[in-house]
């Protein structure tokens, strides 16, 4: 509207200048019209009305325009009485014969398109446009590199013998290959640590990992004055993995589809296993995952790899340890899970004394060792019986060739 008004004012001004002596040839080039049409404009010129060149039907409502009441009625009928499985042609016949609304098929298409209503028979282009207008989720393109983006998730599986287990799965988006899987009694941080460790050992470190929006993955900083980094996010930052937490299932479609496939197949396969336990299920899981990958014929050799090799000197049991901040109490003990522990030097039966209030981290490794980390040093924790004033069940943590060359700073700097 404003553009047309601007053009009309420009035409009025140019014709006004022609009357005052402006060259008609330059004016015709300016207006992009012939000399004959320019003479017609001069005859229609009104010095007191700058809109004298506007069309006479401007701002006039057409006589055959459909009323807003009919438009609202058509929209309501399509959404409630004649849903998406009615084609446009079928819907038009119902309007003509049943509802006594006489409008054309093209008008119905325009009404539905303006209200972002699609049917099962709509073209793919119209469906994508409707999804985009409604703010819904479009298709996510696959990545072109193996290990560029991995997706992790967990689901509950109830087997025929009544055993309830949670399957943790991590999948590559480019190839849809299952990289690692693990059973746990619940969806826990240990379950995600296990699949992450197996993926790093077998394939390497990926660039990006997409997980659910949970407190162990991503913490809401608005509720905490001094937010602390969640443990999985902290581990991923040390590995150089970009962790993305989302509560939208469509953001990680590959792992959502594969969880449904793996769940149905494992329920059928494990129904043939007698006396199924969580240990037995984890033993058989790798065999069935390999069968599924072979069945789907996932070939990662045709994709360039984005995995990076991890440091071989790291002890993954220590790296993926659960960390809990604690302080030393009186008597050189600390409280953890309603038990008291005392710190001892590794490989020795010598107690290490600390001042009251000394802070550190209690670390539970993947092989169920309980350690104490403070001042970039690691000590083993021994259960303390305060009534007998003695320590029991002392099993010192042994340094092996695998972790003897490790730097303890890699496992301590957790904030």
Strand partners, 340: 335, 384
- Given a contact cutoff of 8 angstroms between Cβ atoms, the answer to whether 66 and 103 are in contact is yes
Question: Please, which pLDDT band fits residue 164 given cuts at 50, 70 and 90?
Answer: very high
Model confidence pLDDT, tens digit, residues 133-160: 655 555 677 788 898 999 999 999 988 8
Highest-confidence range of 124-128, 228-232, 260-264, 405-409, by mean pLDDT?
260-264
Q: How far is CA 283 from the centre of its chain?
A: 30
Of 23-32, 169-178, 223-232, the poorest mean pLDDT is in 223-232
- Please tell me which residue, 192 or 121, carries the higher pLDDT value: 192
**Confidence at residue 285, expressed as pLDDT on a 0 to 100 scale:** 92
- Given a contact cutoff of 8 angstroms between Cβ atoms, the answer to whether 327 and 359 are in contact is yes
Q: How far apart are CA 209 and CA 239, in angstroms?
A: 11
Which residues, including other chains, have CB under 8 Å from residue 114's CB and lie 6 or more apart? none
- Given a contact cutoff of 8 angstroms between Cβ atoms, the answer to whether 382 and 393 are in contact is yes
Model confidence pLDDT, tens digit, residues 59-116: 787 778 888 888 888 888 888 888 767 778 888 888 888 888 888 888 888 888 888 7
Question: Please, which pLDDT band fits residue 221 given cuts at 50, 70 and 90?
Answer: very low
**Confidence at residue 295, expressed as pLDDT on a 0 to 100 scale:** 81
- Given a contact cutoff of 8 angstroms between Cβ atoms, the answer to whether 411 and 373 are in contact is yes
Across 143-165, b (16+ Cβ under 10 Å) vs e yields: bebbbbbbbbbbbebeeeeebeb
The answer, yes or no, to whether residue 324 has pLDDT greater than 50, is: yes
Of 83-92, 156-165, 205-214, 231-240, the poorest mean pLDDT is in 83-92
**Confidence at residue 381, expressed as pLDDT on a 0 to 100 scale:** 87
Distances (CA, A) of 141 to 129, 202, 253, 337: 17, 26, 11, 46
Which residues, including other chains, have CB under 8 Å from residue 193's CB and lie 6 or more apart? 232, 235, 320, 366
- Given a contact cutoff of 8 angstroms between Cβ atoms, the answer to whether 301 and 320 are in contact is no
Per-position DSSP letters for 163-218, written without gaps between them? -EEEEEEEEETTT--EEEEEEESSS-HHHHHHHHHHHHHHT-B-SEEEEE--TTT-
The answer, yes or no, to whether residue 227 has pLDDT greater than 50, is: no
**Confidence at residue 183, expressed as pLDDT on a 0 to 100 scale:** 93
Question: How large is the average pLDDT for residues 323-341?
Answer: 87
Q: How far is CA 278 from the centre of its chain?
A: 29
Strand 334-336 and strand 339-344: pairing? antiparallel
**Confidence at residue 388, expressed as pLDDT on a 0 to 100 scale:** 54
Q: How far apart are CA 349 and CA 336, in angstroms?
A: 21
Q: How far apart are CA 353 and CA 137, in angstroms?
A: 58
Cβ neighbours around 301 below 10 Å, total: 8
Q: How far apart are CA 59 and CA 125, in angstroms?
A: 33
**Residue linked to tokens 């004959």:** 36
**Confidence at residue 153, expressed as pLDDT on a 0 to 100 scale:** 92
The answer, yes or no, to whether residue 386 has pLDDT greater than 80, is: no
Which structure tokens are listed for 83? Answer: 């849903």
**Confidence at residue 182, expressed as pLDDT on a 0 to 100 scale:** 93
**Residue linked to tokens 């010192």:** 396
The whole model's pTM is what? 0.58
Of 45-59, 123-137, 154-168, 369-383, the poorest mean pLDDT is in 123-137
Which structure tokens are listed for 363? Answer: 């670390």
The alpha carbons of the chain give a radius of gyration, in whole angstroms, of 36
Q: How far apart are CA 387 and CA 299, in angstroms?
A: 61
**Confidence at residue 415, expressed as pLDDT on a 0 to 100 scale:** 37
């Amino acid at each position: 509207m404003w553009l047309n008004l601007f053009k009309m004012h420009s035409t009025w001004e140019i014709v006004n200048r022609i009357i005052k002596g402006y060259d008609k040839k330059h004016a015709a080039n300016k207006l992009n019209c012939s000399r004959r049409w320019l003479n017609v404009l001069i005859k229609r010129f009104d010095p007191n009305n700058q809109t004298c060149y506007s069309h006479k039907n401007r701002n006039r409502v057409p006589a055959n325009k459909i009323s807003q009441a009919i438009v609202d009625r058509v929209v309501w009928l399509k959404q409630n009485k004649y849903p998406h499985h009615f084609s446009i042609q079928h819907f038009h016949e119902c309007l003509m014969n049943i509802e006594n609304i006489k409008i054309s098929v093209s008008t119905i298409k325009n009404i539905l398109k303006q209200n972002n209503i699609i049917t099962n028979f709509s073209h793919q282009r119209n469906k994508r446009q409707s999804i985009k207008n409604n703010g819904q989720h479009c298709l996510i393109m696959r990545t072109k590199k193996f290990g560029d983006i991995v997706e992790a998730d967990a689901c509950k599986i109830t087997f025929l013998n009544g055993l309830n287990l949670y399957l943790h799965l991590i999948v590559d988006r480019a190839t849809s290959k299952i990289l690692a899987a693990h059973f746990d009694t619940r969806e826990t941080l240990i379950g995600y640590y296990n699949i992450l460790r197996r993926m790093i050992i077998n394939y390497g470190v990926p660039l990006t990992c997409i997980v659910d929006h949970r407190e162990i993955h991503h913490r809401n900083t608005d509720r905490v004055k001094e937010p602390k980094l969640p443990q999985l996010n902290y581990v991923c930052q040390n590995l150089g993995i970009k962790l993305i937490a989302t509560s939208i299932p469509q953001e990680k479609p590959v792992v959502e589809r594969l969880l449904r496939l793996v769940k149905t197949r494992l329920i059928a396969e494990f129904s043939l296993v007698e006396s199924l336990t969580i240990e037995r299920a984890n033993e058989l899981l790798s065999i069935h995952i390999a069968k599924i990958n072979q069945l789907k014929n996932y070939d990662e050799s045709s994709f360039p790899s984005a995995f990076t090799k991890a440091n071989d000197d790291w002890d993954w049991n220590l790296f993926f340890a659960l960390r809990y901040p604690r302080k030393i109490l009186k008597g050189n003990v600390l409280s953890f899970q309603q038990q008291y522990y005392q710190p001892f030097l590794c490989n020795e039966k010598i107690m290490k004394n600390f001042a009251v209030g000394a802070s550190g981290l209690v670390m539970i490794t993947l092989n169920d060792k309980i350690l104490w980390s403070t001042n970039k040093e690691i000590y083993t924790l021994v259960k303390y019986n305060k009534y007998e004033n003695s320590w029991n069940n002392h099993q010192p943590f042994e340094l092996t060739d695998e972790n003897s060359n490790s730097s303890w700073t890699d496992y301590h700097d957790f904030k």
